[in-house]
Every structure is written in C-alpha cells, then in structure tokens.
Amino acid sequence: MPAQANEIDITRRFLKMRLLRDRASFRGFEEERKHIHDLLLRTANSGESNSALLLGRRGSGKTTLLTSVLAELLPLKSFHENTLLVYLNGLIHTDDRQALKSITVQMKLENAVDGKVFGSFAENLAFLLDCLKSGNRKTSKSVIYLLEEFDLFCSHHNQTLLYNLFDVAQSAQAPICVIGVTARMDVVELLEKRVKSRFSHRQIFLHPPEDAFQERLALFEELLKLPTEKDVAKFDETHPLIPQDIVEENEEMVLLRNLFNPREFSFSAKWVKQWNRQIAALVKTPGVCKVLQNMYDYDVVEGSFRMLLVELVNELDEEHPAITCESIQQLGKEYESDDKVALLEGLTALEICLLISMKHHSEIYDRDPFNFEMILTRFNKFANSSSTMQGIPRGVALKGYEHLKALEMIVPVPGIAGSSKGQKEFQLHRLLLTFGQITKAVQRMAFLPTEITQWAQSSVA
C-alpha cells in the first residue's frame, strides 16, 4: 500500500524532527523559566544590567529553556528592536581572543573599526569596552550575552573576558545581561576572587523531579502522538514565528535555527486518528509502563529519554508500520543490557571460577586488593572438592588470570611493589566488576556445571 508507506515515512520524519529539533517547547520548571524570562525582559525594556548562571545536569533542558524564552520574546517588536544577542560556546571559543572576535562580529562593531587592525588582544578588548561604556541606559540597545559551557570560559587566561563582562554588568555603564549555562554545579568556585566579587551570585538550578513518573507517561504519549488540526492551531498560538531576518542576521546564533514547525507536515485525518488511538493504548499497557518505569528509575532526564524514543521511531517502515509493545520491551532490554555481563558470558569456565574466587575474596575482605596466589589458593580449595575442575595446571590458571587483566576485569594497584617479571604472581590487583555483574553472568551461562553455579551463589568461600 503506497499510500500507507508514504504516511509511515512522513510520520517517522515528523516524530524525529519533534524529538530532535523542538527546542522552543519547554515543559516543567515554570518558576525557573519565568525567572530567566523576567531577567531578559527587564534588560530589554528597562535597561537593567543582570548576570545569572543556569545550572543542571546534561540533558535537563538548560539550553531548551533559554531557546523557548527567546522564541517567545523575539517576535515582540519592543524586544528585538532594543536588544542585541551574542552567543558564545566554550567548546568553540576556546580562548578570549576568539571570543572577542565573535563578539565584535555579532555586535556589528566591525564596521566601526574602519578597517583598522588592532595589534594586540588588549587593544581589541579596550575597543570593545569603549563601545560598551560609551552607551547609556536610555539610548543604547541592551546586549544579552549567552555563554554556553560557561565552566570552560573559567579556564581562559586570567578570566579576562568574564571579569570585564561582569564588571560592565555590575557598574551599569551599559545595559547588558550575562547568562551562563553549565553542567558543573561548583562553577562559582572556579571563578577568581575579582571575578566572583562582580558576579551577582544569581544561580538558577534545574533538578529533574525523581517522583514524577505519571508526567513521564504523559510526555511519552505527547511526543509520539500526531497533531490534529486543533493541536496545530494551538501550537501556532503558543509558538509565534520568529521573523526570518532576525534569525539570519546573526550567523552564530545556532539556537534559533531550524526550529520544529508541525505546519511543514501534513497527514490524513484517518491516519492521525488511527495512530493516536494506538499510542494511547500503548500507554495503558502494563508491559510498556513497566519498561518506562525501569527507564525512569535509571535516568529521570528528558534529554536522554528523547534519544531513546528516536531509536524506537527509527525502526518504523513498511514491515513495522507501528510502535508496538514488543518493540518497546526490546528497547528496554537493550537499554538495561550490561556490556560487561555480555563480555563475561564469553569467558571459559576456569576464568569464571577465578572471578568467583575474586568475588568471594572481595566480599570477605571488603574489596581489599588480592594477587594471583591468593586467588589460586581459594580456587584450589573449591577445585579439590569439585568433580569437574580438578587437575588444572598452575600455568593454565595464571594464563586465565592474565587474560582477565587484559580484558580490564581487574586492574593493578598503583604504587605497590611486585611489578617485575619474576613477581607477577604477587602483584596486587583490584576487581573492577560489581558482584551483581558476576552473579548475573553466571546465571546466564547455561554450559556451566551446576556446582560452579552453586559455588557462585554461596556466601561460603
């Protein structure tokens, strides 16, 4: 059915665009969003100077929050006519010279230079500061500086850029607002004393709630449903279009480019109704709820959840025209799978026995280091009473021990004697696996003799 194949293709592209590019829609953190919104609005309308830091773990929505606020404010004539936006990223602008060059271009100050080439960083900085300080609160445009990966700017030499930006903001010489975005919670401690004294110490934290699974279910349904005409009309109402000339005039302002717009896609009403009914049924399925609950228990961040849904959407094609309970459960298995456990399943019975010996040793001695001789003694104690593991030569056991070291299941303890060739049996190591990983691997290895499985589960070493 070519018509259905076309609908599936459009649906896949639509959902991927929503999951990856819908940066103007923001959920939750209403108080924090209002705080940023009011800061930027006061800077534009009243000429106030402010500085703030937006902190939260990666994927918590810091950049999305900023983008959604800008997408709301920029269509307002009073805002975009009174402000200049300057976007800097610590991963791109790796030193103050590059950052200053970018600021000059984004503030359109290169025309004011009249072709003059400054000889030093100091002259560049002096020129920029003169431009900023020559303005006043009533006649000058407000300048909003957005510093992504703010912690990386703290490593720049003498923190010159941060010092001067915060100094201008504090002294209110020109209306500027500095917003730093970072995943480092201790970023204020990275600031030099002179910089810290000029920072407003306004910190806005984004901590995702850990007991909001019902909201996660609602998010799952919202992200995967197709929009009806009513939904598109509501989107247009809450997401006014940013004038194209505003987006194009600043080439470095990547946050506002290629924003998601559902008007670019069209679906038949029958397909939308059929798809949405199927998604609504999925949310009520116990198997799906269990998988989503496990994912939520592992990670409450929305960003990583969206990326998991992208994997789910990627599988849509003519052979798999819908998202099913089985596909979600398979995604859950892949999400929870442990690569170390998969690696352990490929080991020999001898190597598994050595790991069990290490596990017992670590349990008894509270993860103290061990050497080959200790593990061999513990293994021999089991082997002598075993019917399957007797008569293992010492050299073979040593080879298995070294293989575990090569696979980085164990690691040498640094700074301890015994690393010479003649003493490798006595070199101390630590176990890099959790006890649960070893137990899980043993349970999955069907070829292991029953006595080894029972020994692994036994607390008696």
Q: What is the pLDDT of residues 8-45, one digit of tens each?
A: 999 999 999 999 988 888 888 999 999 999 999 999 88
The β-bridge relationship of strands 410-412 and 429-431 is antiparallel
Please provide the DSSP assignment of 164-199 as one string. Answer: HHHHHHHHTSS-EEEEEEES-TTHHHHS-HHHHTTS
Q: What is the pLDDT of residue 348?
A: 92
Predicted pLDDT at 108: 79
In the chain, count H helices and then E strands.
Answer: 23, 7
Domain regions of the chain by residue span: 23-206, 211-336, 341-457
- Segment 171-192 mean pLDDT: 90
* pLDDT exceeds cutoff 80 at 228: yes
With a cut of 50, say whether residue 420 has pLDDT above it: no
Query: Which pLDDT band, with edges at 50, 70 and 90, does 3 fall under?
Result: low
Q: What is the mean pLDDT of the chain?
A: 87
Say if residue 86's pLDDT is above 70: yes
- Name the least confident of 90-94, 143-147, 341-345, 384-388: 384-388
Measured CA to CA, the distance from residue 314 to residue 331 in angstroms comes to 12
Let me know: does 454 contact 360? Beta carbons within 8 Å.
no
Residue 192 carries which side chain, given as an amino acid letter? E
> Residue 50: in which H helix or E strand, if any?
strand 50-56
Confidence class of residue 202 from pLDDT cuts 50, 70 and 90?
very high
132 is written with which tokens?
A: 């900023």
Q: CB neighbours of 304 closer than 8 A, spacing ≥ 6?
A: 59
User: 460: pLDDT confidence band, cut at 50, 70 and 90?
Assistant: low
Class of domain 341-457: mainly alpha
Q: Which two tokens stand for residue 75?
A: 């269509």
Q: What is the pLDDT of residue 337?
A: 82
Q: Which fold has domain 23-206?
A: Rossmann fold (3.40.50)
Burial 209-242, CB ≥16 within 10 A → b, else e: eeeeeeebbebbeebbbbbeeeeeeebeeebeeb
In the structure encoding, which two tokens stand for residue 242, read together? 């940013």
Summarised one tens digit per residue, pLDDT across range 149-165 is 999 999 988 898 899 88
| Predicted local confidence at residue 459, as pLDDT | 66
Burial (CB count <10 Å: 0-12, 13-18, 19+), residue 420: exposed
Stretch (H or E) spanning 67: helix 62-73
pLDDT tens readout for residues 337-364: 888 888 999 999 999 999 999 999 999 9
Q: In the chain, what percentage of residues exceed pLDDT 70? A: 92
Is the pLDDT at 205 greater than 90? The verdict is yes
Name the pTM for this structure: 0.77
Task: Output the pLDDT for position 134.
Answer: 67
Query: Mind giving me the DSSP string for 81-102?
Result: TTEEEEEEETTT--SHHHHHHH
